[in-house]
Amino acid sequence: PMNAEEIKAAIKPIHPEWRPIVLRPLLSAALAEVGKLAAVGTIHPPAPLVFRAFWDPPVHKVVLVGQDPYPNDTACGLSFSSYKMTPSQRPICALLDLHGSDLTAWTDRCLLLNMALTCVKSKDHVDAWTPYMISLVGAIDEFRPSLVWILLGAKAQELAPHIKKGTVLQWG
């Protein structure tokens, strides 16, 4: 399970403007559920990268939401981004004409989120994160009402009813 030190390491780099939005009451419940699921295997991404999407100031124009992190050591805390190309990334990278799998350079204009901020190799954590993510998305939508939300896949599209002010595009 994520211990107190790992949780502190994950929360510490969150940009100060994001803190009141990200540090929501439902976060504790999500982390408790993730702790239980840790018995199944190694959590990805590593604890310090769980909130990687929120390290930069909130100046984004677009939010790209996927399902969950890549279930291996390539997960970097940003949706559709990894340290090494995975088979499931190839079509996305080809579609976007990308020559690599690390989307860190996008973080100044695109918030790269997943429905689940963690996973293990054999089990996604979407159910553990869903209540928190619904709350978080609503708060982001209030905070930045002009965002364009791109929801990729059925799990991410479950967020659409909770986005009241931004523009929602759904694919997949």
DSSP assignment of 80-106: T-BSS--TTTHHHHHHTT-SSS--GGG
* Cβ 111 vs Cβ 60: under 8 Å: yes
Q: Please report which confidence band the pLDDT of residue 60 belongs to, taking 50, 70 and 90 as the band edges.
A: very high
- In a 3-state reduction of DSSP, which class is residue 82? strand
Which structure tokens are listed for 170? 């759904």
Phi, psi of 142 (to 5 degrees): -70, -40
Residue, of 22 and 101, whose pLDDT is higher: 22
Beta bridge partners of 149: 63, 168
Radius of gyration of the chain (CA): 15
136 or 123, which is more confident? 136
Could you tell me if 152 and 66 are in contact, meaning their C-beta atoms sit under 8 angstroms apart? Answer: yes
> pTM for the complete prediction?
0.90
Q: 81 and 64 in contact (C-beta within 8 Å)? A: no
Tens digits of per-residue pLDDT, 23-45?
988 898 898 888 887 777 888 89
- Dist. CA 157–CA 115, nearest whole Å: 9
Other CB atoms within 10 A of residue 76 CB? 22
Separation between Cα atoms, residue 44 and residue 75, nearest integer Å:
6
